[in-house]
Structure formats: C-alpha cells, structure tokens
C-alpha cells in the first residue's frame, strides 16, 4: 500500500475519523469506504474549492441544508435497480416503486440544492421518470400498475370487482365456489396484462437511466462533501495550501483533543516545518513523540484525500506515497520479531522511494529492536540515504549523535523547564496519580534546536518521578 | 355459562390497535379465525395484516388438502415478504419497503385495491414486527392483526400486541378430553397473574444485568452469572438458599428446569417463579399440576390480555367433534369466551 496499510491507517486515527464522518445516504456511506488519495494538483484544488464553498453554504443556509439532510435520510440505494433496467431487465412492482419514490426524493432535493450549491453538484431533471410512474399525476409516494396504463386492465379489474361483490353477498356455498373459480380466471387475465405493462414501462424508462445515475453520483458527492464540511466546522479545520514543503502551524489531533476535553485538558498545538530530506525528533520519555508523528501523518493523509487539515495553517506538497513505521511494529503471525518486522517495512519504504521518489516517511524509534550501537548506525545510514530522494522524512529517536549539522532537529520541550525537586515533592504527596501529574506538567510543544544538542537524558528523571526503588536509582545514577 | 355472539366478539376487539392470533397446534383453525374476524370487521375497522415468520406451507402434506387461505377486503394493508407478493391475488398498491429482510425477501407493505387472497410471511423477530406494526398504523390502519405462527407465541407478548386470541381445534388430538385439557392449560398459561409491583421492579433489575436471579424474603436480589436457564439446572438449584422466595427467569422456561425443581421440591416449597410473560412457558398441564402441588406459583411481569378462545371442531385429518359438545366442554373448563369459528356464533 502506497498510502499506508489498513493497520497503519487505524494507528494514526484515520479510520476513526472516516468512520465518524456523518454521511447520511447509502451513497455517501459507500463513498466513505472508497476514499483515495489524489495526486493531481488541479483535482485536489478543485475538491478544496468545493469544500470551502460547502462550508460557507452550510453556515449560511442551515435550514435548507437540514431539509436536504432529512431527504437524504429517506433515500435507498437503487443503483442496482437502475443498472439492471439499463441492461434491459423488466422491473417488478417493488422495483418500480423504489425507482419512483427515490426519483421523487431526488427532485425534492434538486429543488433546494440546485439553488445553493455549485454547478458541479446540480441534479439533472428526472421528471420524465416520475411522469411515467405516476400516470394520473397523483403525486402520492406509492405505486401500483395503474388503470391508466391500459383500457384492457381497467376492464378486467372492473369485472374482478363485480365478482367479488357477488362472492360477498352469496351465502350459497356451491355458488360461492363457482364464483371463486370464475374470479380466479379473471385474476390470471389481470396478471398477464400487468406483466405486459411492466415490460412496456421498463422499456420506456431505459432512456432516462443514465440521468438517474448522474443524480446518484451528484447526491453521493453532496452527501460526502457535506459530511466533510461538518467535520471541518466542528474542529475549525483549515484548507491546506499546496506547495513544495510541509508546514503546519497550530496542528492538533482531533481524537486526542476529544479525550483531553473530557479530562478538562487542552491539546498543546504544534508548529512544525519539514523541508526535503530528513528531520529528527527527540524528546523526553512520555513527551508525546509518537503522537506528533501520528498527527503529522494523519494530517498529510487527510489533505491528500481532499479533507481540510487539523491545523490553523498548513502547506502540503503532493506526495506519491506516505509510509509510517510505528514503534509497536511486530508481526507475530508471520513469526517476525520487532526488528524483523522493521526491516520488512524498511524494504517496502526503500521500494517506494526508488519507484515514486517523492513521498513522506515517518519512523518512530526505528531500529529500537536491536542493540543500540548497531541501531544507531542504521538510523544514521537511513537518514543520509533518504537525502538522495525528493522525499520528506521525520524520525523520532532516542539515539545520540545521529544528527549531523545539516539535519533539522526538533525536540519536545518536555520537562526541561520544570523544577524536578518540587515536582517530585508534589508526586510524593499524591503517589497514586504520578502519571497524570507528570502529564499535567509535561510541555508537549516542540521547538527547533541546534542540531548538535544532545538528546535529553530524562529517562532517570521520569523514572524517579513515577517511582523507582531508591537503591536501584542510586546504582543507575552512578553509571551515568 | 357465558353467552357470546358475533356482535359481542366484534365489540371486544374494538378498543385495540393490535391483536395477535396464536394457535395451539398446526391446523387449529388460526386462518379460519382470522378470516372470521376479517369478515366481521369489514367496514368497521381499517385492517393491517401481518404475521410472525411463516406458518408452514400452503399444502398440507399429512392431509393432502390445501390449507385455508386468508381473504382480505379491499382497502386492507398487508405486510409480507417480497417473494410472496405473486401469491397474493389482490390488486396491489406498493406503499413501502421496510428494509427488513427475511429468507423470503424484504418485507413490503401493500394496500389491497381489490378483495382477494393473500399469502403472508412477516418479520421473524419481535422488534421488526413492532416496526412493521407501527408503519401500518402510520398508514392509517386502526387495527393490526398479527398471525402468530406455529410455536411462536412470542407475538402475543404485550410489547407486540395489546390483545390476543387463542385458536384451538380438533386437529390438536383426536382425543376430545386431551384437547380440552391442553386448551384450558394454554389459556391458564396465557392468563398467569401479574406479580406485585415491588417484585416486578426487582425482577426487571435482575433481568437488566442477567438472565436468572433470586429474590429473598427481605427483598434482596441476587443475579446468577449464567447465560441461560436452559442447561443450568444444577447451578440454579445450588444457588437457592432457604430464605429465597422468588426465582426470576428470562426467556423460555424449559421442561428440564421444571423437572429438576420438582426433584428438589423441598428447597422450592412456597416459591414463586417469575417469568416475562405467559408466552415464555413450555410446560404441559401435567408438569404445571405437579408444580402447584409443591406448591410453586408462576407469575409474570407482563400479563397477556387474552380476549377469547376460538375453536374449530373439524380436523383436516378427517374427523370432527360434535360442535356443541366441544364448545360447551371448553366453556366449562375455561373462564373466557369461546367461539366456534366454523359453525358461527354460539
């Protein structure tokens, strides 16, 4: 998978977001399962134009949109009926009913939506279909093989009704049986005539099927774009600019934002700039490096799929692949250790680099599954290898000295500006909540630092805060 | 003795928006009962008709006879599976597709534009049945009749229908006395008394978290961690202590459980068994008698409003009871009205 596999999409929270898109109609729901990244800059820009327009329209025409949404709820998926009809299949009463009802709803939507949406979303007229399926112009949302279709049918039904009256008024069992026999013969005639009419109507409908398919597509787009607009409004997402570098100002992760909200905490928004080549991300344990990588990857995926991004401001390049190597990669099903799995993934990544050249790679603690002295060499090597391509990469690492002077280096502020002793006293008073107290004091923001600066040595400090055996701590301390 | 005539029968149906008709056995005259009601409500109520699942085949293999078919009046609504629409010889107007699917296709709601025979297979589970019922009420019906298919007495539950009619007939057994006994037993089961409100509330608390529970004399509740009562006789018996007074069971009450209770009769003396409603029992009259000897009482959370019993003295197997004798015997053993749907009013 060029743009993340399902597992990685789940890990970065993309599946979660897409599943929570509030599409309403069966068409919109189908579209949700079929969102692909777009590589054509013109198409992508057009999608952003549409979304921008929908967001504006949504806020200006709330009532009209609500009406459209109620109509979308009533829609059923009639694609198969229409396709079968197009192939020449004769529809039965129920299918004709579905076609009639749905085209009626389409036309109701059209009356509202064509006035407020862009031309690309305009529904085409399906009146001729409704006229065929409502020969008496009754405008009632039901269907039967109407007498209007055939004089013969009308006569047969008249006879049927006459006999039924007789059956009802007869008490003589013998006579009643005779009448029922007679009625049965009439029912056969009625069925034959109805079948003939169904064939006839189906034939008459065929020329309009392509128009129904156009409207189905437009409704799919309306429903889907409305859902994207609502998502963007809810989180104040912004339209990314398409450029040749990656920049997010005020980036956040909606899923984590929601979790923090429940705890009455705020997401510390992030600013990050990635130029071509590698960027290093370091920081204290528990500093949220993984979250940063996931949030960044998520936003890049979303942008390329035509969504607004979770950031106050953003510039993104068009990428030909997006890859994510997570810190918990392991494939026990294939009998791979974490290092084995990492190398398999690395093969996929270098493959992408060689084939597509321009992409984005996020690596979380690459080569952590092997011994540090060799692991470091792997990280350093990969960092310079990537420079040969037109790609962007970011590596979160614990290893020292993998960064050369030219590689940009971001660091999570973490506990750098915290007075350890006073924090430790706080935790000692309230031992149960050590983790949440650390989280509260952790500065999750990132800053760009001098590349030569050392990777922070916060492990022992964090361990001390959480609580570690005093003797063990002293032994470790002496080893520093 | 109770007097019942057609007019009285019709009047007894009028207050309700939903009535289920359930049969004791195959060929107990359920369809005959339905037709009898449909004929007599013509012009009085706007009827919607459906069933729970489908009741067998239209051809009876045992008797080699066609079973009677349901005949509806023009204007009635019918909810049935799509593949059976071609077997309905009424002129049909399609009103709605429900999205509820069955093995015979989606349930479709149609209006009869002519009189005629219909073939009905409704949803097979209660929540879908409720949805279909409400859809038909919204289309303007004022009485929904639910054909409760064989051994699916669940449709009589008060969630689904406000009132119930039980159909019995000669086809149940050639032994007249046996038919009378089992009919009156079924009536008894459907008319089991509602438990006191306090116990009802505690029982509902139990059923919210589990399937089986006990209530003691101090009104403390204990929920047993068992998935169902069907195979857990031993565990249930083991959990009972001397101060327990009520056993609360969800789902069906099986013969096996009752038998193991009878074996441990000393433990269950003066117990009351609480079940959801009278459709949930599968206990025959013999076992019920043994229970009442211990004594153990059976009570329900939701009582069923049983309107009357219909009887069909003719069996399609080729024998019949003397109608007067059959009906009179039924009337003496049952304290609700009895109607002979073949011979007319009594």
* Residue A43, SS3 per DSSP: helix
- pLDDT of B4 reads 52
pLDDT at residue B2 is higher than 50: no
Closest chain B C-alpha to A28 CA, distance in angstroms:
18
CA B137 to CA A99: how far, in whole Å?
Answer: 24
CA A16 to CA A257: how far, in whole Å?
Answer: 13
Chain B CA closest to residue A180: B116
| Residue A157 CA, distance from chain mean position | 53
Q: How many CA atoms lie within 13 A of A435 on its CB side?
A: 1
CA B56 to CA B150: how far, in whole Å?
Answer: 8
Query: Which residues of chain B neighbour A157 with C-beta distances below 8 Å?
Result: 91, 114
CA B214 to CA B222: how far, in whole Å?
Answer: 5
CB A39 within 8 A of CB A316: no
CB nearest A144 (choices: B82, B92, B108): B92
Report the alpha-carbon angle A148-A149-A153, nearest 5: 90
CB A229 within 8 A of CB A58: yes
| Phi and psi torsions of B252, nearest 5° | -80, 145
Those residues whose C-beta lies under 8 Å from the C-beta of residue A117, and which sit 6 or more positions away, are A53, A54, A57, A222
H or E element in which residue B169 lies = strand B163-169
CB A416 within 8 A of CB A443: yes
The total of other beta-carbon atoms located within 10 Å of residue B135's CB is 21
Query: Which residues of chain B neighbour A160 with C-beta distances below 8 Å?
Result: 91, 114
CB nearest A94 (choices: B108, B114, B115): B108
Query: Which residues of chain B neighbour A184 with C-beta distances below 8 Å?
Result: 89
CA B280 to CA B273: how far, in whole Å?
Answer: 12
CA nearest B79: which of B127, B38, B29, B137?
A: B137
The string of DSSP codes covering A331-362 is BGGGTB-HHHHHHHHHHHHHHHHHHH--EEEE
Q: Hey, which residues does A143 pair with through a beta bridge?
A: B94
Contact across the interface for A94 and B113, Cβ inside 8 Å: no
Q: Are strands A241-242 and A313-316 parallel, antiparallel or unpaired?
A: parallel
Residue A51 zone, left/alpha/beta (φ > 0; ψ -120 to 50; rest): alpha
Those residues whose C-beta lies under 8 Å from the C-beta of residue B196, and which sit 6 or more positions away, are none
Contact across the interface for B94 and A144, Cβ inside 8 Å: yes
Which value does ipTM take for this structure? 0.81
CA B103 to CA B81: how far, in whole Å?
Answer: 8
Query: Which residues of chain A neighbour B108 with C-beta distances below 8 Å?
Result: 94
CB B170 within 8 A of CB B315: yes
Mutate to test the interface with A, among B73, B80, B82, B114 (most CBs of A within 10 A): B114
* A241-242 sheet: strands from edge to edge: A241-242, A313-316, A246-251, A270-274
Contact across the interface for B92 and A187, Cβ inside 8 Å: no
CA B285 to CA B178: how far, in whole Å?
Answer: 10
Which DSSP category does A371 fall into? -
* B272-275 sheet: strands from edge to edge: B221-224, B212-216, B244-249, B272-275, B297-300
Closest chain B C-alpha to A145 CA, distance in angstroms:
8
CB B22 within 8 A of CB B166: yes
H or E element in which residue B112 lies = strand B105-112
Query: Which residues of chain B neighbour A163 with C-beta distances below 8 Å?
Result: none
Report the alpha-carbon angle B167-B47-B82, nearest 5: 90
CB A25 within 8 A of CB A72: yes
Distances from the Cα of A314 to the Cα of A113, A238, A239, A272, A421, angstroms = 31, 8, 7, 10, 39
CA nearest B130: which of B106, B162, B105?
A: B162
Tokens of A51: 């979304």
CB B107 within 8 A of CB B81: yes
- pLDDT of A331 reads 60
Condensed to tens digits (0 to 9), the pLDDT of residues B138-184 reads 999 999 999 885 455 556 677 789 999 999 888 888 899 988 988 88
Chain B CA closest to residue A184: B89
- pLDDT of A24 reads 96
- pLDDT of B241 reads 86
- pLDDT of B346 reads 38
Residue A66 burial (10 A CB sphere; 0-12, 13-18, 19+): exposed
Contact across the interface for B89 and A76, Cβ inside 8 Å: no
Tokens of B9: 């029968």
Chain A CA closest to residue B139: A142
Low-confidence residues of chain A: pLDDT under 50: none
CA B126 to CA B104: how far, in whole Å?
Answer: 17
Which DSSP category does A309 fall into? B
Report the alpha-carbon angle A275-A442-A380, nearest 5: 35
H or E element in which residue A187 lies = helix A173-205
- pLDDT of B150 reads 47
CA A270 to CA B217: how far, in whole Å?
Answer: 63
Across the A:B interface, residue pairs with CB atoms under 8 Å apart total: 44
CA nearest A52: which of A318, A316, A312, A307?
A: A307
Condensed to tens digits (0 to 9), the pLDDT of residues B259-305 reads 888 888 888 888 899 988 877 777 777 888 888 888 889 999 888 89
Condensed to tens digits (0 to 9), the pLDDT of residues A188-213 reads 999 999 999 999 999 999 999 999 99
- pLDDT of B151 reads 56
Contact across the interface for A142 and B93, Cβ inside 8 Å: yes
Closest chain A C-alpha to B312 CA, distance in angstroms:
19
Those residues whose C-beta lies under 8 Å from the C-beta of residue B5, and which sit 6 or more positions away, are B345, B346
CB A85 within 8 A of CB B84: no
CB nearest A157 (choices: B85, B95, B114): B114
The string of DSSP codes covering A241-298 is EE-SSEEEEEE--HHHHHHHHHTT-----EEEEE-SEEEEEE--TTS-HHHHHHHHHH
Closest chain B C-alpha to A183 CA, distance in angstroms:
9
Mutate to test the interface with A, among B43, B87, B94, B136 (most CBs of A within 10 A): B94
- In this prediction the pTM is 0.84
Tokens of A284: 């204290």
CB A398 within 8 A of CB A367: no
| Phi and psi torsions of B77, nearest 5° | -105, 150
Which DSSP category does B318 fall into? S
H or E element in which residue B102 lies = strand B92-102
Residue percentage of chain B with pLDDT more than 70: 89
Contact across the interface for B85 and A93, Cβ inside 8 Å: yes
Average pLDDT over chain B, rounded to whole? 85
Closest chain B C-alpha to A290 CA, distance in angstroms:
40
Average pLDDT of span B123-152: 88
Tokens of A173: 């069992």
Interface of B with A (CB under 8 A): 74, 82, 85, 89, 91-95, 97, 99, 106, 108, 111, 113-116
């Amino acid at each position: 998978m060029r743009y993340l596999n399902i597992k990685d999409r789940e890990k970065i929270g993309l599946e979660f977001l897409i599943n929570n898109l509030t599409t309403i109609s069966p068409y919109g729901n189908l579209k949700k399962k079929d969102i692909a990244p777009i590589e054509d800059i013109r198409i992508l820009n057009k999608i952003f134009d549409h979304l921008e327009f929908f967001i504006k329209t949504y806020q200006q025409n709330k009532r009209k949109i609500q009406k459209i949404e109620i109509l979308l709820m009533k829609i059923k998926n009639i694609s198969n009926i229409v396709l079968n009809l197009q192939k020449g299949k004769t529809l039965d009463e129920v299918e004709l009913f579905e076609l009639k009802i749905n085209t009626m709803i389409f036309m109701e939507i059209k009356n509202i939506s064509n006035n407020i949406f862009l031309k690309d979303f305009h529904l085409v007229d399906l009146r001729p279909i409704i006229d065929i399926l409502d020969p008496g112009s009754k405008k009632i949302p039901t269907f039967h093989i109407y007498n209007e279709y055939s004089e013969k049918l009308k006569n047969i039904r008249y006879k049927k009704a006459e006999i039924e009256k007789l059956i009802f008024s007869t008490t003589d069992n013998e006579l009643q049986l005779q009448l029922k026999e007679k009625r049965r013969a009439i029912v056969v005639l009625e069925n034959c005539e109805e079948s003939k009419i169904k064939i006839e109507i189906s034939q008459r409908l065929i020329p309009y099927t392509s128009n129904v398919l156009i409207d189905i597509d437009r409704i799919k787009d309306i429903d889907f774009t409305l859902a994207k607009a609502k998502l963007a409004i809810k989180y104040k997402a912004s339209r990314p600019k398409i450029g040749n570098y990656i920049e997010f100002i005020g980036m956040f992760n909606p899923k984590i934002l929601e979790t923090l909200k429940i705890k009455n905490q705020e997401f510390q928004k992030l600013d990050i700039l990635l130029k071509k080549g590698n960027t290093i991300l370091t920081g204290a344990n528990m500093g949220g490096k993984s979250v940063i990588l996931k949030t960044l990857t998520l936003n890049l995926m979303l942008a390329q799929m035509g969504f607004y991004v979770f950031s106050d401001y953003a510039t993104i390049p068009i990428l030909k692949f997006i890859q994510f190597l997570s810190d918990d990669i392991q494939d026990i099903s294939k009998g791979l250790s974490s290092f084995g799995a990492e190398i398999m993934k690395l093969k996929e990544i270098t493959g992408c680099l060689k084939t597509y050249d321009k992409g984005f790679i996020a690596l979380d603690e690459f080569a952590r599954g092997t011994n540090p002295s060799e692991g470091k060499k792997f990280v350093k090597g990969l960092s310079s290898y990537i420079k040969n391509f037109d790609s962007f990469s970011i590596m979160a690492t614990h290893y020292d000295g993998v960064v050369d002077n030219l590689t940009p280096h971001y660091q999570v502020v973490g506990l750098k500006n915290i007075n350890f002793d006073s924090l430790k006293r706080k935790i000692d008073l309230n031992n149960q909540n050590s983790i949440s107290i650390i989280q509260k004091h952790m500065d999750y923001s990132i800053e760009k630092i001098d590349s030569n600066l050392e990777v922070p040595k916060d492990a022992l400090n964090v361990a001390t805060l959480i609580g570690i055996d005093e003797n063990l701590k002293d032994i470790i301390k002496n080893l520093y | 003795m109770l007097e019942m005539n057609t007019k009285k029968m019709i009047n007894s149906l009028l207050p309700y928006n939903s009535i289920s008709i359930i049969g004791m056995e195959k060929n107990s005259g359920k369809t005959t009962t339905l037709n009898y009601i449909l004929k007599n409500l013509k012009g009085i109520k706007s009827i919607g008709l459906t069933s729970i699942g489908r009741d067998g085949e239209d051809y009876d293999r045992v008797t080699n006879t066609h079973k009677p078919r349901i005949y509806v009046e023009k204007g009635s609504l019918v909810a049935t599976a799509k593949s059976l629409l071609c077997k309905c010889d009424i002129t049909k107007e399609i009103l709605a597709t429900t999205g509820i699917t069955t093995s015979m296709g989606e349930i479709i709601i149609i209006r009869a534009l002519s009189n005629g025979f219909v073939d009905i297979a409704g949803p097979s589970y209660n929540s879908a049945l409720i949805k279909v019922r409400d859809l038909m009420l919204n289309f303007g019906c004022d009485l929904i009749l639910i054909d409760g298919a064989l051994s699916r007495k669940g449709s009589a539950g008060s969630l689904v229908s406000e009132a119930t009619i039980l159909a019995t007939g000669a086809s149940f057994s050639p032994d007249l006395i046996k038919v009378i006994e089992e009919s009156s037993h079924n009536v008894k089961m459907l008319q089991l008394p509602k438990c006191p409100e306090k116990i009802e509330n505690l029982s509902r608390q139990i059923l919210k978290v589990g399937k089986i529970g006990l209530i003691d004399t101090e009104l403390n509740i204990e929920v047993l961690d068992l998935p169902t009562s069907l195979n857990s006789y031993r565990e249930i018996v083991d959990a009972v202590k001397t101060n327990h007074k009520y056993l609360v069971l969800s789902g069906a009450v099986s013969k096996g459980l009752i038998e193991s209770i009878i074996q441990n009769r000393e433990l269950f003396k003066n117990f009351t068994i609480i079940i959801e409603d009278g459709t949930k029992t599968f206990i025959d009259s013999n076992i019920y008698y043994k229970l009442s000897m211990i004594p153990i009482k059976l009570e329900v959370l939701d009582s069923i409003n049983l309107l009357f019993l219909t009887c069909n003295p003719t069996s399609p197997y080729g024998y019949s009871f003397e109608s007067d004798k059959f009906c009179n015997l039924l009337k003496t053993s049952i304290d609700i009205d009895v109607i002979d749907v073949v011979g007319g009013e009594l």
